[in-house]
Amino acid sequence: MSGINLSGANVSGANLSELDLTEYDLSNVDFRNATLNDTDFIGANLSGANLSGLDLHKFDLSDVDLRDAQLIDTDLSEAILSNANLANAQLMGANLSEAFLWNANLEGADLSNSDLSNAHLVGANLRYASLKKANLSGANLENAQCEETNWDSTIGLESAKNLPAECQVELNTPSSI
């Protein structure tokens, strides 16, 4: 049943547990306070969706379109977000500890005050993203792209792994002091 369009729906507070929403168009859907235990979103379009405050711990969100989505204070710890598009997403205060963000597009995303400790950001696009006061302790940034990234008051960069030279240059510019 892939390809079903539910864009703009308000499912806040609904129990959507164990549903297969693979490749559904869920753009601009309001999921706040919804129960999503074992819900499958692989390849879904969640652009502009509001997933703020949800528990998405260990969710597989591979290849999901989360452009412009609201994920404020969302628990994405240990979630799989490989190849996910999170461009311009609002992730302030989100828990992304130990999340797998391989080749994720976080361009322009706001990750202020988020926890990215021990996250796997291998090949992630962090261009123009805000990591202000984010915790990157132990994060793996191998091959990450970080042109114009806001590193203001970022925590744990000294323990981040494989920080690309490009990112280190960005850290030494006056805007990141």
| Ordered structural domains, the chain, with CATH | 47-177 (2.160.20)
pLDDT (tens digit, 9 = 90+) per residue, 108-140?
Answer: 999 999 999 999 999 999 999 999 999 999 999
**pTM (predicted TM-score):** 0.92
Q: Which residue, 109, 112, 12, is CA-closest to 53?
A: 12
Cβ atoms of 74 and 95 closer than 8 Å:
yes
pLDDT (tens digit, 9 = 90+) per residue, 25-55?
Answer: 999 999 999 999 999 999 999 999 999 999 9
